[in-house]
């Protein structure tokens, strides 16, 4: 990715120098973003060359207000989207970026956010009025509608990705074989990439929960090396608190709305602590993908909510039931369909009610040791650690 970032920067410099040398020619100013998993470039009215793990998925994405886009495409207010193959996107610019995400502001009232995680997730939010999104796919990709809310993209190498409408809206394959979506104010279009072949049944279950608003946040935890972070800069601070080097840079959070916020407050080799908060009391599901390199024995994970053990479920359906007024929170563990180079475990956590909950994922060996973690430890965590220590002492006494 660093080589490609250098190449993109060089191309951008050449483009700008050429524009300065020929002022009569039309100019296209832009900026490049290059992370460990995701890279793209902004132009005057489009995001170009959106690539996930070095593979270009979308040649360009443009966004315009629905009213303006329909007018440009000659569509009436009730006309279908399939004939909306072209419209002039609104102006946009790279508004902010961090090591794990980039935000593009769109003049029509939309916001695009790309997340530098293994799924290469990007969101287009309709913040001010309904918005229309047009995505030209790469030449080796083919799109197929599964429903009014989901379109699946398949590349020649067999890898797949999905466009998902979250909230009110529609996404279709247009007459040119590309993707057009219309989302109402407060709704969004989401893209998730699967780079190791066809998406699994578990992937489809996660998509369904994201689409219907059951899963309102997604967390990705990677090692510093996998996230492409240079941990040398923060190694001194990490040594002081006993945490893994680069831990803060390796936790990526995607929030799908419904007034839900999630923060990874601390992480060690076998414990991940999060705070999940909602303004409403209704329970929701938090999805987590944890790298085998970042979290030992992830397949044997246990989940605690406010210090109390959640029930281990046998399916996503049981997790949803727990989030829909269940007596207790519950979690389901499955093997992630991530690529061979990025082995991970998926954990779906159904939190039975809100407003603010402390959620802890602990693998074998993590329940009695906080691994030198700082922050995020609610009262329940201290009680759990004390009980674990008492149990160990009693066992030692019996052995004597």
CATH domain 33-199 topology: Beta-galactosidase; Chain A, domain 5 (2.70.98)
Is pLDDT at 74 greater than 90 in this prediction?
no
pTM value? Answer: 0.79
Q: Which two tokens stand for residue 308?
A: 């109390």
pLDDT of residue 370: 43
382-395 residue pLDDT tens: 333 333 343 444 34
Tell me which of 189-203, 256-270, 342-356, 378-392 is least confident.
378-392
Angle at CA 380, nearest 5°, toward 378 and 384? 130
- Between CA 283 and CA 106 the distance in angstroms is 32
pLDDT value, residue 59: 95
Query: What is the Cα–Cα distance from 293 to 100, expressed in whole angstroms?
Result: 18
Instruction: Please report the beta strands in 215-309, taking only residues with DSSP state E, as ranges in sequence order.
Output: 215-221, 251-255, 260-267, 271-278, 282-291, 302-305, 308-309
Pair 356, 276: CB distance under 8 Å? yes
Residue 19 pLDDT > 60: no
Q: Is the pLDDT higher at 215 or at 392?
A: 215
Percent of the chain whose pLDDT exceeds 70: 75
pLDDT digits (tens, 9 = 90+) for 166-189: 999 999 999 999 999 999 999 999
Q: At what angle do helices 201-211 and 316-323 cross, to 10 degrees?
A: 20
pLDDT at 243 over 60: no
Question: What is the domain partition of the chain in residue ranges?
Answer: 33-199, 216-399
Least confident span in 21-35, 37-51, 124-138, 214-228: 21-35
At residue 365, the pLDDT reads: 53
Residue 162 confidence (pLDDT): 97
């Amino acid at each position: 990715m660093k080589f490609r970032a250098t190449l993109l920067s060089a191309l951008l410099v050449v483009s700008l120098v050429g524009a300065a040398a020929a002022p009569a020619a039309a100019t296209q100013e832009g900026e490049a973003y290059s992370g460990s998993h995701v890279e793209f470039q902004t132009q005057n009215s489009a995001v170009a060359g959106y690539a996930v793990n070095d593979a270009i998925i979308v040649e360009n994405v443009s966004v315009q207000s629905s009213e303006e886009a329909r007018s440009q495409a000659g569509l009436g207010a009730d006309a279908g989207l399939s004939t909306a193959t072209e419209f002039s996107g609104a102006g946009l610019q790279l508004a902010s970026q961090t090591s794990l995400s980039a935000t593009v502001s769109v003049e029509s009232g939309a916001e695009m956010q790309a997340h530098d995680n293994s799924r290469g997730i990007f969101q287009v939010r309709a913040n001010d009025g309904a918005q229309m999104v047009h995505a030209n796919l790469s030449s080796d990709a083919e799109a197929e509608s599964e429903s009014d809310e989901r379109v699946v993209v398949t590349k020649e190498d067999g890898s797949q990705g999905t466009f998902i409408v979250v909230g009110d809206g529609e996404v279709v394959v247009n007459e040119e074989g590309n993707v057009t979506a219309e989302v109402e104010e407060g709704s969004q279009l989401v893209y998730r990439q699967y780079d190791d072949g066809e998406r699994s049944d578990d992937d489809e279950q996660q998509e369904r929960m994201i689409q219907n608003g059951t899963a309102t946040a997604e967390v990705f935890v990677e090692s510093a090396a996998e996230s492409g972070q240079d941990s040398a800069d923060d190694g001194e601070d990490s040594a002081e608190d006993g945490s893994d080097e680069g831990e803060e840079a390796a936790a990526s959070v995607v929030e799908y709305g419904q007034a839900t916020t999630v923060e990874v407050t601390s992480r060690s080799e076998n414990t991940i602590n999060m705070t999940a908060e909602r303004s409403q009391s209704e329970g929701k599901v938090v999805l987590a993908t944890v790298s085998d390199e970042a979290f030992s024995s992830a397949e044997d994970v246990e989940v605690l909510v406010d210090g109390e053990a959640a029930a281990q479920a046998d399916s996503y359906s049981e997790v949803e039931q727990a989030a829909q007024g269940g007596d207790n929170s519950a979690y389901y563990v499955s093997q992630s369909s991530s690529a061979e180079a990025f082995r991970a475990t998926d954990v779906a956590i159904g939190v039975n009610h809100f407003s603010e909950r402390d959620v802890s994922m602990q693998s074998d060996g993590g329940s009695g040791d906080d691994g030198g973690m700082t922050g995020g430890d609610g009262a329940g965590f201290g009680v759990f650690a004390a009980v674990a220590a008492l149990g160990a002492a009693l066992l030692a006494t019996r052995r004597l």
